[in-house]
Amino acid sequence: MRKACAASVALLALVLAPAAAAGVRISGVDTSGYPEIRVTVVAPAGAAQPRLGENGLPAAGLQAVNLGRAKSVVLAVDRSQSMAGASLRNATAAARAFVAAKGPNDQVEIVTFGHQAVSLTGFSSLGADANAALGGLRVDSTQGTALWDAVVRAANALGHQGQPGRVIIVLTDGQDVSSSASFDAAVAAAHRAHALVYTIGIAGRGFTPGPLQRLAADTGGAYQEAISTSQLASVYASIASSLSHTWQLRYVTAARPGDTVRISAEVNGAGGATSSVTLADTGLSAAQATPPSSVLPASAWSSSLAPVILAGAVGTLMLLAAWFVGGARKGSWLRTRLAPHLGSGERRAKVKRERQGRTLLRGVVAATEQAFANVKQFRAVQRLLTRADLPLLASELLYICVGSGIAVAIVMLIAGVPSVLVVLFMLVGGAAPIVWVASKGRRRMKAFDNQLPDLLITIAASLKAGHSFRHAIQAVVEEGAEPTARELRRVLTETRLGRPMDDALGEMGERIGSKNLSFVLNAVTIQRQIGGSLAGLFDVVAETVRQRQQFARKIRGLTATGRMSAYVLAGLPFLVAALISVISPTYMSPLWHSSTGHTMVGAALVMLGIGTLILKKIVSFKG
């Protein structure tokens, strides 16, 4: 009967706690980030943002976060052997009820501790991950309670979160016996993470609430005690209710280390609260306690004219610096004007310095070329660069791709993009230079194909006029357009250096990669071996190439609808995902911030890739 009365009294206290705390209350002040001070204020439900003051003056640079709107929460649950049976079942059920009642913008991570602390999930706004972890929680088979290690692990996890509101809720029925971290280390970790620690103690034989009470008080949280584990659901509900109208305020103090500041918080229509705190006399105060320089007498530093003299000295130094900079620029301008009349010695020295600066880069590029010279894919990239007519080596393009991917990843990380999308964007950024080179090569090959029939007719006309094959090519070089003129000019240069015409033309075909050109070169090679009218052959081949191109254009026109459908179907999921993420980030948050969402995104990308390949196979035609 006595236990039942005690339980009823405890439940009544939990229910009436919010009503009792209907006024404004300062629950914690954190000065560890001096000169920034963080104040935790519990206001009445539905109240407006508190106004903060320091020593009777408004706080400078005040920033406020309402934990009821969005926060990151770590639920640390004790699973030591003393929690066996109904205690652990009730604890997990209460924690799951807390997860189910959380706000849509809240992110939850589960940490358990027995003889050691373990993170079961990452932060997720989707309750499925936390429920699955809590549902599979079992009692630790090894004795021990690593309470402070759990707090440190939770604080470290919160330190990497982007949301400013950060809370740790710790549930235990005992005291720490196996942590490698100390109580002070746990408090320091919570301060570094700017996290409030709410502690829940389960009363029992040998239970001492003192450490939990001090941990909550030192971090701005609150301590609550349950007589039995059946009350844990009410305790979690009370904490959730308190968090819904808890504010974390921060501002930059004007006080010096060692000063005592009086902090006041006021809410319209709900009253106010005050708290006094003494700033630690460390850090900056040690520097301020340094005795003045002995160069000047001590009276000079305490004089009222000292700030004026010091400001004048700083201004004089700045003027001298500006004068030196202007003189240096004037001298540089004068040297630039005189350089053309003083000979090329200085220019040669400048060029030499620039070449020396490039020596290291060239060495790295040469080493990369030598290391990957026999790799098939590396040689394919070099052929791609040659086809695109770009003055780059394959190793240089490789380093450009690496730099592009890293730059895109840095931009995405600064923008706060989820890690999965950062990796995806990094791969896309790294592949972008190669895609651009391949596109340039295809455009160049297409331009050559379009010029090929006219090229053949011009050569045939020259041959009919009595010119040699070499002179016919020379006429195309002089009158033709790019890229045909450039490629044939290279062929003539190689033949002048002693290379056979057939070999030079064959390499040109490999360099350009055009099937039509390969067809023409095969016909020319056969004709040069067996004899016959070369001019008539070029007329026939020109007509054949023209018909092939007309047929290819007709096929491309017939498949245009299918290609456009493929483009729309492949790009629509990305466009819709981006639009919804901008319009309603909360709706898409489970997809980006949970393991289940990451799995779904990966599966969608795989299926999208397979579908794209199928559509490409449908609309492609090889003739």
Q: Annotate 281-298 with DSSP letters as a single string.
A: S-THHHHHTSPPPSSS-H
Asked if pLDDT for residue 195 goes beyond 80, the answer is yes
Identify the pLDDT of residue 331.
Answer: 52
Identify the pLDDT of residue 333.
Answer: 56
The rounded distance, in Å, linking the Cα atoms of 436 and 385 is 10
Q: pLDDT of 252-273, one tens digit each?
A: 888 888 888 888 888 887 788 8
Task: Please report the beta strands in 141-279, taking only residues with DSSP state E, as ranges in sequence order.
Answer: 166-172, 196-202, 223-226, 246-252, 260-267, 271-278
Asked if pLDDT for residue 375 goes beyond 90, the answer is no
Identify the pLDDT of residue 15.
Answer: 39
Q: How many helices (H) and strands (E) does the chain have?
A: 22, 14
Asked if pLDDT for residue 10 goes beyond 80, the answer is no
Q: pLDDT of 99-139, one tens digit each?
A: 888 888 888 899 999 888 988 888 888 888 888 888 888 88
Task: Give backbone dihedrals phi and psi of 546, rounded to 5 degrees, phi first.
Answer: -65, -40
Identify the pLDDT of residue 170.
Answer: 92
Q: pLDDT band for position 226 (50/70/90)?
A: confident
Residues 6 or more apart whose CB falls under 8 angstroms from that of 215 comprise 151, 170, 183, 186, 187, 190, 197, 199, 221, 223
The rounded distance, in Å, linking the Cα atoms of 302 and 288 is 14
Identify the pLDDT of residue 198.
Answer: 92
SS3 of the chain: helix, strand, coil, percent, to 5: 60, 15, 25
Asked if pLDDT for residue 19 goes beyond 60, the answer is no
Asked if pLDDT for residue 288 goes beyond 50, the answer is no
Report, as an integer, the average pLDDT of 449-458. Answer: 83
Tokens coding 16: 């009436």
Task: Give backbone dihedrals phi and psi of 110, rounded to 5 degrees, phi first.
Answer: -105, 125
Report, as an integer, the average pLDDT of 408-416. Answer: 81
Alpha carbon 215 to chain centroid, angstroms: 34
Domains of the chain: 21-66+245-282 (2.60.40), 69-244 (3.40.50.410), 374-558 (no CATH), 562-619 (no CATH)
The rounded distance, in Å, linking the Cα atoms of 154 and 112 is 10
Q: pLDDT band for position 5 (50/70/90)?
A: very low
The rounded distance, in Å, linking the Cα atoms of 179 and 185 is 11
